[in-house]
Structure 1
Amino acid sequence: MTTPEVLFVCVHNAGRSQMAAALLDHHAEGRVVVRSAGSAPADDINPAVIEVMGEIGIDLTTAFPKPLTTDAVRAADVVITMGCGDACPVYPGKRYLDWRLEDPAGLTAEQIRPIRDDIDRKVQELLTDLLTRS
């Protein structure tokens, strides 16, 4: 049984994809390799995203936006896009999912909490699916 690899991609890799990667890593407890990247990475993680993740015990203070690479896509079994449009390279044989989520850029922590909670639900469903397929 191989360990599934998941890549979360959004434009800036400063909000949605960072939350999703951290949540999946947290819930998977080492059973999934998790990465995130951005098609146009920001300089820093959104401070309000760091705040709302800290509220649930997940520390993103050392996280940083990473650029999307073809190697990261090639390595992934599942690529989950979050508003990156055509910027994500498509390879045959990969499983692609597009999660339509509001971009937390410019939002307050109060406005981001429901996005975080929606991502958490999706991540837990994904984890269940990944572990039953492996």
Structure 2
Amino acid sequence: MAHAPTVLFVCIHNAGRSQMAAGYMTALSGGAVTVRSGGSEPGHEINPVAIRAMAEEGIDISQGVPQLMTTEAVRDSDVVITMGCGDVCPIFPGKRYEDWELADPKGRQLDEVRPIRDDIRARVTALLSEILPLSRA
């Protein structure tokens, strides 16, 4: 049986960008990827505008709860994607790390969040095409 890769998406509040990325990875991978998300300073709720933007794509992230990113989650992930949380993420040898520079949807209107959402979708799609062939080898 092939190893299902684990991807961790991290942003500051785990309430917008990382939740949208996790939603896309879950939906687009069809369960072939274990998806986690967390924040360096988790918020209290998922950004309602991010929820609406993802709902337009047919993806429901409304049940998500912002979580604290833990050292264990990083250690247990194959790929760690950070989004504007600086250097707070622990580094473990052998992991793939990427920092995606994305605007924070916090405090933005839906028409401003859509381009962020679309950028996240494109990045998740590209990442998925890179990691899934490796897991099926």
Confirm whether residue 28 of structure 1 aligns to residue 6 of structure 2.
no
CA distance in structure 1 between the partners assigned to 2:56 and 2:89 by the alignment: 31
5+ residue gaps, structure 2? none
Equivalent pairs, count? 134
Residue equivalent to 2:64: 63
4+ residue segments displaced more than 4 Å: none
Deviations 1:44-64, CA, capped at 9 Å, x for gaps: 011100111111111112111
CA distance in structure 1 between the partners assigned to 2:104 and 2:69 by the alignment: 18
5+ residue gaps, structure 1? none
Confirm whether residue 78 of structure 1 aligns to residue 79 of structure 2.
yes
Could you state the TM-score of these two structures normalised by the residue count of structure 1? 0.98
CA distance in structure 2 between the partners assigned to 1:32 and 1:62 by the alignment: 19
What does residue range 9-24 of structure 1 map to in structure 2 within 5 Å?
9-24=10-25
Letter in 1 for 2:21: A
CA RMSD of aligned residues (A): 0.6
Post-superposition offset of 1:87 = 1.0
Confirm whether residue 99 of structure 1 aligns to residue 100 of structure 2.
yes
CA distance in structure 2 between the partners assigned to 1:61 and 1:3 by the alignment: 25
CA distance in structure 2 between the partners assigned to 1:131 and 1:91 by the alignment: 21
Deviations 1:53-78, CA, capped at 9 Å, x for gaps: 11111111211100010110011000
